[in-house]
Amino acid sequence: VNGLGGGWTTVVSVPWTASPGNWSLSAVADVDDEVAEYRESNNDRTVALSVVSRADLRVASLTYTVVFDADPAGILSDGDRVRFNATIVNDGSAVHRGLYVRFYEETTRIDQYENGTLADHISISWMNASETRYVEFEYIVAGGPANYSAVVDSDDHVSESNETNNARTVLLNVSGAGHTAGRMPALMGTEIGVTVTGRGYSAPDNDCQVYVVGPSGTVMGTWSYWASTWGTRNLTYVADEEGNWTVVAWCNGGRWDYEILIETTAPNGSSVTYRHSARVGTWSTTAVNYPLVVSGNGSVYTYGSVLEATEGDYLEVVLRTIRYSDGGGSPYVKLRYAETDPGNWNGIWTAAGWAMPYVDQWGERSLRYPLEDNGTWCIDVLYNGRYWEYELIVRIDGVVVGRHHGRVGQDLSFHRYYLVNVSDANFTRYTYDSVIDVPPGTRLRVRVETVGFTDGSRDGHVLVLAPDDRAIRGRSAPVNTWINTTVQDVVLDTSGQWHVRISYDTFVWIYRVVIEVTLPNGTSLSYTHLGHTGTEMACVSMRSTSAARRPRRSAPEGR
């Protein structure tokens, strides 16, 4: 102060940065005692000051890593899922209240919802002095450059000694779409595996669906769950028609983040994987499409395919349920024989088949049948409900010759046909009405084993008839009890036609019969036949005779 007149007042200020603690601040006038005063005792004044400690929160670093890469080249691309890692440091005193770390894309907050509420991992309940915390947040980035920021205490709930260091920003240059560009190629018969993982959602929690649309526009096998319950789902389809297919992800809620892997496995075993992360919902777009172009391949076993067999071969058909639209429909599988017009399947004779009341009771079932007539046979799969997806396996004489992942129902087609072309055998075989020449005194033994039936509780009948049609021996019992059962053991003591007659009370009984004859000289011969009988066809007979006749047909055992 250069001078001060009587009665004058002046204000003197000195800057000082207070540190936490208790302080005594003093101001002293004429500290060097250079002015003569009539009162020297009032030149100073002291005040006590208590300085409260304050926090200083800052974002020390912000980094990112790609946790789901839509582009195999490793380029940051549209649809990649990025994990942001923020390091939060408190350079000041302890914070005894909750605080948030929030993330922004430019000025838009992107962490507001994670699984329906504010995510726990971006909330910090307290921080000690000099403490460091690490928080992370995942986000699906879009193509183009954008600034991404992490901000601590963005709502200013914590009083800090420095409020200017609460944010840090990183610039991401994201290229265009990766595997989502264009259409994925596939061959007919390709198995399409779809794995979808839910990664977060916003309120309102609502229905999220993944489904496939076929070339005709038919929606097949919709998987529908609320976003909060989606988790990870594995779906499988088969591209069994040529044309444009589409895998669709759809959501009716505010926002659903998901990851999708589409793996295509062609009939030749080659496979390709497509990956993508995306967001659907009313906040953005309600659906994302993943298109596939399916081209034909004549080697694929599918609807209408023709298998080759030989007269007398043993056909086995196995069907296993994969999924269905509702449990109230009834599936039917029938083996049909078209004797005159192979192209006309209306009103033809049904050889055998299953019928179950409801598709949810189907599980896996097998149908076995001897192909005893040449011509075209048809495996007819039908369903009177909306949608039944199944796996079909066809075996001929125990060898798998066809396998197909098929679909049938009101939403698609009521019938699916698979054909078997049966040609003449290049050898004679033992079958219905075959004749065995044996001398009088021959011992006849008959063994019967059930192979299949429509009703196991109904009786099957086996009779041995003498030349005058007298029943010499016989057995009647439910067909589900015939297990390599010896029916007859008689001596053919009268010349003439002897018959073995097999019949069944209802639709179809498929059996294996073994005819064993022991000649008077001790020679034994055995003849085997896979046959069928029932009310849909005439009873069958096999004849033995003591007359001197040659067999009309003979074949290796088992044919």
Task: For residue 293, count CB atoms less than 10 angstroms from its CB and return exposed for 0-12, middle for 13-18, buried for 19 or more.
Answer: middle
Residues 315 and 336 in one domain: yes
Q: What is the pLDDT of residue 284?
A: 66
Evaluate if residue 125 carries a pLDDT over 50.
yes
Least confident of 106-110, 255-259, 414-418, 445-449: 106-110
Domain containing 207: what range? 184-295
Q: Which residue has the higher pLDDT, 171 or 117?
A: 171
Q: What is the CATH number of the domain that holds 275?
A: 2.60.120
The domain boundary, picked from 6, 29, 51, lies at 51
Summarised one tens digit per residue, pLDDT across range 145-195 is 889 999 999 888 888 888 889 999 999 988 765 444 446 777 777 888 899
Residues 33 and 64 in one domain: no
Task: Determine, yes or no, domain membership for 3.
Answer: no
Summarised one tens digit per residue, pLDDT across range 185-220 is 777 778 888 999 988 887 778 889 998 888 877 776
Residues with Cβ within 8 Å of 48's Cβ and at least 6 positions away in sequence, in order, are 22, 23, 24
Summarised one tens digit per residue, pLDDT across range 49-99 is 887 678 899 999 999 988 877 665 667 877 778 889 999 999 988 887 788
Task: Determine, yes or no, domain membership for 287.
Answer: yes
Residues 447 and 527 in one domain: yes
Task: Determine, yes or no, domain membership for 310.
Answer: yes
The domain boundary, picked from 146, 177, 208, lies at 177
- Domain tally, the chain: 5
pTM of the model: 0.48
Residues 47 and 144 in one domain: no
Evaluate if residue 387 carries a pLDDT over 70.
yes
Local structure of residue 304 (DSSP, 8 states): T
**Tokens 């505010």, residue?**
254
**Average confidence (pLDDT) over 213-229:** 80
Task: Determine, yes or no, domain membership for 4.
Answer: no
Among 280, 293, 283, 281, which residue's Cα sits nearest to residue 79? 280
Task: Determine, yes or no, domain membership for 16.
Answer: no
Task: Determine, yes or no, domain membership for 485.
Answer: yes
Name the pLDDT band for 118 (thresholds 50, 70, 90).
Answer: very low
The domain boundary, picked from 5, 30, 51, lies at 51
Residues 331 and 272 in one domain: no
Q: What is the pLDDT of residue 201?
A: 84
Q: Do residues 505 and 535 make contact, with C-beta atoms less than 8 angstroms apart?
A: yes
Q: What is the pLDDT of residue 151?
A: 94
Residues 211 and 230 in one domain: yes
**Average confidence (pLDDT) over 228-240:** 83
Q: In what order do the strands lie in the sheet with 57-68?
A: 57-68, 81-90, 132-140
Task: Determine, yes or no, domain membership for 300.
Answer: no
Task: Determine, yes or no, domain membership for 441.
Answer: yes
Q: Which residue has the higher pLDDT, 122 or 490?
A: 490
Residues 79 and 131 in one domain: yes
Summarised one tens digit per residue, pLDDT across range 1-37 is 777 777 788 888 899 887 777 889 999 988 888 888 8
- Name the pairing type of β-strands 167-177 and 77-78: parallel
Residues 357 and 454 in one domain: no
Q: What is the CATH number of the domain that holds 79?
A: 2.60.40.10
Residues 403 and 459 in one domain: no
What is the Cα 149 distance to its own chain's centre? Answer: 38
**Average confidence (pLDDT) over 292-305:** 76
Average pLDDT, rounded, for the chain = 79
Q: What is the pLDDT of residue 558?
A: 31
Residues 232 and 162 in one domain: no
Residues 361 and 396 in one domain: yes
Q: What is the pLDDT of residue 231?
A: 87
The DSSP string of 309-359 is EETT-EEEEEEEEEEES-TT--EEEEEEEESS-TT--TTPEEEEEEE-S-G
Q: What is the number of other CB atoms lying within 10 angstroms of the CB of residue 75?
A: 15
- Residue ranges of alpha helices (H) inside 370-464 are none
Among 374, 301, 373, 365, which residue's Cα sits nearest to residue 334? 365
Q: Cα separations (Å) of 132 from 93, 94, 151, 230, 370? A: 13, 12, 15, 35, 78
Residues 313 and 418 in one domain: yes
Local structure of residue 160 (DSSP, 8 states): B
